[in-house]
Chains A and B, each alone.
Chain A
Amino acid sequence: MKGNEKKTSLAILSILAGVIYLLTIYSYFEAGLEGGIRNVKERHKIEADGVDNSAKGSRVLQRIQLVPKSKDILYSDSIVNLKSGKMIPVSYTKMYVNDESENPNLLLNILLNVIVFFGSLPFFIIPILFYKLIISFYKDQIFTLKNSKRTKTLAALYLVLYVVRLGYNLTNYYIDKSTIELANYNIVTPDLGHNFLLIAILLFIVVIVMKRVMIMKEDQDLTI
């Protein structure tokens, strides 16, 4: 009876994890969609105007993170609050920059594109492996060689994703620092995504645990 309950809770948790993973993919997709549409529209605009800025290596958009330069000027900007009609002091922490000037870091930009290309590959493989694993758990087939291999590949892919994301963010940060300097703000490093590294290591631990159970099961079967 207790075993059956365990099976049901495992199946329910598998379904929930599958649904939430869909939600995660959607939220990443939603964020990336805006950037994608913008780039397509920019390309159309370039074609319509007959001027190709990409030949000069122009960077269309960059999201940068800021902190005030001096603690004496904490709110260096202002904005009108339409509710009260008054100007209120503000400090910007994140902004999108549309830089159309000639980009001196063409090589770095190419490197960035290469990183983005290779970095996007795990994004397609991870969901497939994840769902295969979840379906297997749903069927109550947990400690199998296939699942252990899938988990190991997932861990390796997350590790690749971590390295790629770190490289991408640091290259971006370097480009921003070398091309942009603002009067009242310092550009700071964005989120370096250490959570991907943690996920990868935890998955490797799960692989070891799975393997141990598999050995125990084998021994048990042999004894019987």
Chain B
Amino acid sequence: MNTAKKKLTLLSTFAMLTYCLLLLSSIVDGWDDFKLGFNESRALKGQTYFVDLKAKASYLSFPDSILNLRTRNKLNIRYDKVQVRATVGPNSVKYADYYLIIQCVLAMVLFFIGIYIPIQFFRLMKSLILEVVFDENNVKYMYRIGVSLLVLYVVGFMINYITCLMNLAMFDFADYIIQRETTDVIWLLLGFVVLLFAEIVSKGSKIKEEQDLTI
């Protein structure tokens, strides 16, 4: 039993550390974009649009090329994701103002969830480190995480959809199709799996309650 206790504490600590690593890598990934945005706001006029591209001809076509400085050869390339710096105002798009308002609201929801999930997760892990497993609060934390993950997926999907609508209205490129950025289904799956495990822990709590009553 003592080994199991140690294992749980150790695993919960590892889970917390891995989550920190996950958060850190997200921050590092986005850091360049943040710096880019900060610098460009002083250097240039206009707005940045994030556009997802797909080659128009087929998946076998590489419409662009770039010089490889190592070999001095030209490489055939196909762009996948680009940041477009354009002065095309959102006014050129029908319902642009509504899109922007919806996007702002959704971004706020995303920001809130981005803070809310780690808080619930760390509370849950802290509880497990303290050897409190079958507790009502833990079930609550799990429910909150599960529902937040589902909302995260839906909000992410909506943001990507609106962004794609705006990009389609503003841009058209010769060799590329503009497409919607895919929202990772893993968040939806994780949401349901966490809710499932919340149910399981809730059942475990019931059994523990019955056991305590029997004693």
Contacts and interface: CB of A to CB of B under 8 A. Distances in A.
B152 to A, nearest CB: 13
Interface in B88-123: 88
B75 A63 contact: no
A213 B199 contact: no
Contacts of B62: 96, 98
Contact of A220 (B21, B68, B170, B210): B210
Contacts of B27: none
Contact of A13 (B14, B79, B84, B196): B196
A210 B207 CA distance: 12
Interface residues of B, number: 73
B43 to A, nearest CB: 7
Contacts, number: 207
Interface stretch (A71-79, A106-114, A117-125): A71-79
B207 A91 contact: no
B70 A201 contact: no
B79 A17 contact: no
B77 A98 contact: yes
A174 interface: no
Interface string A60-95: 000100011001001100011111100011111111
Nearest to B146: A13
A205 B182 contact: no
Nearest to A142: B200
A75 B85 CA distance: 7
A90 B78 contact: no
Interface in B68-83: 68-71, 73, 75-83
Contact of B204 (A89, A92, A143, A223): A143
B189 interface: yes
Contacts of A183: 67, 69
A99 B67 CA distance: 11
Interface in A150-174: none
Given A81-B171, A212-B4, 6 more contacts: A9-B199, A10-B200, A38-B59, A74-B85, A99-B68, A220-B211
Interface of A: 6, 9-10, 13-14, 16-17, 20-21, 23-24, 27, 34, 37-38, 41, 63, 67-68, 71, 74-75, 79-84, 88-101, 137, 142-143, 178-183, 188, 191-192, 194-195, 197-199, 201-202, 204-206, 208-213, 216-217, 219-220, 223
